[in-house]
Amino acid sequence: MKFVAEVLKLSKSATLRLEERRVLRQALIKHPFFPDLVDAYKLDKKFGEYEEGTLIVKTKNGYDLVRGYPKIRRALTLYPTIIKHFKEGNVVIEEKMNGYNVRVVHFGENIYAITRRGYICPYTTEKARNLIPFEFFKDNPDLMLCCEAVGEESPFVSKSVYGIKNLDFFVFDIRRRRTNEALSIKIKEKIAEEYSLNLSPILGVVDVKKAHEEVKSIVKELGKQEREGVVIKDEKMKKSPIKYTASQSNCSDLSYAFRFFNEYGKDFMFSRIVREAFQSFEFNESNDELNERCKRLGDAILKPMIESIREVSNGKKVVERNRLRFDSLEVFELFKKHVKKMGIEAEFSTPIEKNGKFVVYFDRIMMSTTDKIAAHLNGVLW
CATH 3.30.1490.70 boundaries in the chain: 73-96+205-245
> What pLDDT, on a 0 to 100 scale, did the predictor assign at position 265?
80
We find that the CATH architecture of domain 319-377 is 2-Layer Sandwich (3.30)
For 73-96+205-245, which CATH class?
Answer: alpha beta
CATH 1.20.58.2250-classified regions of the chain = 248-304
Indicate the CATH number of 248-304 among 1.25.40.10, 3.40.190.80, 1.20.58.2250, 3.40.50.2000: 1.20.58.2250
Could you report the per-residue pLDDT of 169-197, keeping only the tens digit for each? 999 999 999 999 999 999 999 999 999 99
Whole-number pLDDT of residue 1: 73
Q: What is the 3-state secondary structure (H, E, C) of the chain?
A: CHHHHHHHCCCHHHHHHHHHCCCEEECCCCCCCCCCEEEEEEECCCECCECCCCEEEEECCEEEEECCCCCCEECCCCCCHHHHHHCCCEEEEEEECCCEEEEEEEECCEEEEEECCCCECHHHHHHHHHHCCCHHHHHCCCEEEEEEEECCCCCCCCCCCCCCCCCEEEEEEEEECCCCCECCHHHHHHHHHHHCCCECCEEEEEEHHHHHHHHHHHHHHHHHCCCCEEEEEECCCCCCCEEEECHHHHHHHHHHHHHCCCCCCHHHHHHHHHHHHHHHHHCCCCHHHHHHHHHHHHHHHHHHHHHHHHHHHCCCCCEEEEEEEECCHHHHHHHHHHHHHCCCCEEECCCEEECCEEEEEEEEECHHHHHHHHHHHCCCCC
The confidence score (pLDDT) of residue 339 equals: 94
pLDDT < 50: residue spans in the chain: none
Residue 157 · residue 100 · CB < 8 Å? yes
What pLDDT, on a 0 to 100 scale, did the predictor assign at position 267?
87
Residue 111's DSSP bridge partners are: 106
pLDDT at 99: 94
Q: What residue spans in the chain does CATH classification 3.30.470.30 cover?
A: 2-66+98-195
Assess contact for 96 and 230: CB atoms under 8 A.
Answer: yes
Q: Name the class of domain 2-66+98-195.
A: alpha beta
Enumerate the CATH 3.30.70.2160 domain ranges in the chain, comma separated: 319-377
Sign of CA dihedral 348, 350, 355, 356: positive
